Structure 1
Amino acid sequence: MLTEPTAPTDEPPSLIAQFASSPRGARRARQLAVGHMEEWGYPPASDTSCAVALVVAELAANAVRHGRVPGHDFGLRLTFDRATGLVQVEVSDAASAKRLPATPPSSAPEGESGRGLLLVDALAVRWGSTPRHPLGKTVWAAIAAAPSTEAWQR
């Protein structure tokens, strides 16, 4: 796992990390995101941290399950824009695939999978995917952060 903070600005530092494309890597991405949310003033039990954790877990699991390319990790980027009150979650994988649909596909009520993007759609203000050059795609989601008196400040 490689983490590197972004350049200093008036915004709280972003989290940028790479993880092995495995269930353990996906779990570690979620744990690191929750820890970073706590640094920004959103405790693990807060609604904002829980929403971010669920979105990271789903997007990371999808990257591992559907976007895995042998020899390539998946990436996580987490940013917080105080001005808009949005936490941006981005998960990048190496699989060159078509863009995700604008709305999540429906799943069979008795099915064991297929509901993850429905959760992302319910928790995010907006979400989508973009191609990543030279290889892969990035799936992103913007999550509204509840006001917090403990949230990161200058």
Structure 2
Amino acid sequence: MKALMILAACALPFAALAESEGPKFGMAGLLSAKNKQDLPPITLSAGMPLADGPWVLQSGTYYEFEIQGDGSQELALIGPEFFRAIWIDEIVVEGLEIRPLGLDSVEFDEAGEMEIGFIAIKPGRYYLKVPGSTGDTQRLEITIQ
């Protein structure tokens, strides 16, 4: 009992010091604001390019991007290999947050917008594209380093 009292007395100054200085740790490194980058949006529109150019991502970095569909045509975006090389934190559609376990594709039947937040995980070369299309402008090349 005496040993417990001595141990508690020794720990009190350290506990008071820790409380007075406030917490020293913030959000987890991967999800912290310092680790977040916004990517340019992807546009789903009949006959228009998906994006301005290829994406080069860093493994371990948190990214967000928007997919904007203008409703000119029913269009989808596929990229199963890419979606398996990332960890999807959330997909936001009209304020509704979706936290999927995995993803293969998305489709816009009418005009709308979605935002996807993810962490790049597996290095490699990937793509997102409009299914059935053959043009380079309908394909977004993605490299995870």
State the TM-score, normalizing by the size of structure 2. 0.30
Structure with greater proportional strand content = 2
Structure with greater proportional helix content = 1
State the TM-score, normalizing by the size of structure 1. 0.29
Computing the radius of gyration from Cα coordinates, the structure with the larger value is 2
